[in-house]
Amino acid sequence: MEPAYRVALVAFPGIRAFDVSVITEVWGTDRTDRTDRGAPAFDLRRVAADTTTPIPMRGGLALLPDRALTWLAKADLVVVPGLDDHLTPAPALVLDALRRAHARGTTIAALCGGAFTLAQAGLLDGRRAITHWNLIDRLRAHHPQVNVVPDALFIEDHNIWTAAGTAAGIDLCLHLVRRAHGAEAAATIARSMVTAPFRTGTQAQFIEHPTPHADRDADALAAVREHALRHLHEPLTVGDLAAHAGMSPRSFARHFTAATGTTPLRWLLDQRLAAAQKLLERTDLPMPEVARRAGFGSEVTMRQHFASRLATSPRVYRAAFSTGSTTGGSSPIAR
């Protein structure tokens, strides 16, 4: 049996209760015995400079640490919650521990205003980072050495991940599960949390909805996305999707981007990649058939997109994340 994947939640006074809850829900719940394929075993620890005193959080909550900062040396992943006051100084011992973890090559992730903590540690100097859209100017002002990206859900630079506000923290956590354990594990956790299993980091975090257009178009756009998911194996184009929505291609693309924060083509590619990942994990179908069912048309095209978006190949991905061999059903995606 493989050892549990070790995750360190870095705790100190001022951290957000919501982010602590997200981290705990993703990595602190045992789903290994679920009938819906389960999830890997995780070992989540609440790490702090002082393990003897509960850490107060807003709303009358408190977090009791269970490991000292030295446990970061054992962690596979270090996660820093956001802050209630984004200028809260982290304890010097915490900043030093984060620097040492990064020097060891440990993956570090910060949710929302947790980027301010990483910036205090100097880990974001000269690197790309994101935070909540309402905090971008503040992060730039207080940490001008950080290359603050204005419009993304989450990004990575030198094995340091940062995320935008609230829901984007969930997206990043699920992405980190997907990256380490595969799409099926992330989907299992997303199902139990009743949240979307796949939103890419390049999606815009702040979307203006110009009412009443958003209300008028919402049903049409939801229907066309559902139609696309049912027909991923077909050579869909933006024109096809626009026709299904009853719009011109230009109008459809504009409304789609306004509603989702991404373009129709990028969204379609993301869904095809997710479908291919599931097929590679769940089935022993040959590569050309996986490519056909996911809508790539050819194995070469699928391999190119895996390389550019996932930095791996379909064969390497299958070897790493395959959960069992079945021939799959007749549907485009074995759901």
User: pLDDT value at position 255?
Assistant: 86
- At 229, which amino acid appears? L
Backbone angles phi, psi at 178, to 5 degrees: -60, -40
Whether residue 212 is preceded by a cis peptide bond, meaning omega within 30 degrees of 0, is yes
User: pLDDT value at position 320?
Assistant: 82
- Strand pairing class (5-10; 77-80): parallel
User: pLDDT value at position 335?
Assistant: 30
CATH 3.40.50.880-classified regions of the chain: 5-193
b/e per residue 134-153 (b: at least 16 CB within 10 A)? ebbebbeeebeebebbeebb
Residues 299, 302, 308, 313, CA torsion sign: negative
Measured from the Cβ of residue 328, the count of other Cβ atoms closer than 10 Å reads: 18
Phi-psi region of 39 (alpha: psi -120 to 50; beta: other; left: phi over 0): beta
Alpha helices (H) along 211-263: 213-230, 238-245, 249-260
User: pLDDT value at position 182?
Assistant: 87
CATH fold for the domain made of 5-193: Rossmann fold (3.40.50)
User: pLDDT value at position 215?
Assistant: 42
CATH 1.10.10.60-classified regions of the chain: 212-335
CATH of range 212-335; options 1.10.3720.10, 1.10.10.60, 3.30.70.20, 3.30.420.40 = 1.10.10.60
Count, in order, helices (H) and strands (E) of the chain: 13, 11
User: pLDDT value at position 331?
Assistant: 39
Q: What is the pLDDT along the chain (335 residues), one digit of tens a residue?
A: 567 999 999 999 999 999 999 999 999 988 887 655 568 899 999 999 999 999 999 989 999 999 999 999 999 999 999 999 988 999 999 999 999 999 999 999 999 999 999 999 999 999 999 999 889 999 999 999 999 998 788 999 999 999 988 788 999 999 999 889 988 888 888 888 877 655 554 444 444 444 444 444 566 788 888 888 888 888 888 889 989 888 898 999 888 887 777 888 988 998 899 899 889 988 999 999 999 999 998 999 999 999 988 888 999 989 888 865 555 543 343 33
User: pLDDT value at position 199?
Assistant: 57
Picking from 13, 19, 22, the residue whose alpha carbon sits closest to that of residue 115 is: 19
Q: Tokens at residue 304, please?
A: 């190119």
pTM of the model: 0.73
Q: How many CA atoms within 13 Å lie on the side-chain side of 94?
A: 27
Contact 99, 123 (CB under 8 A): yes
Query: ∠ at Cα 222 (216, 223), nearest 5°?
Result: 100
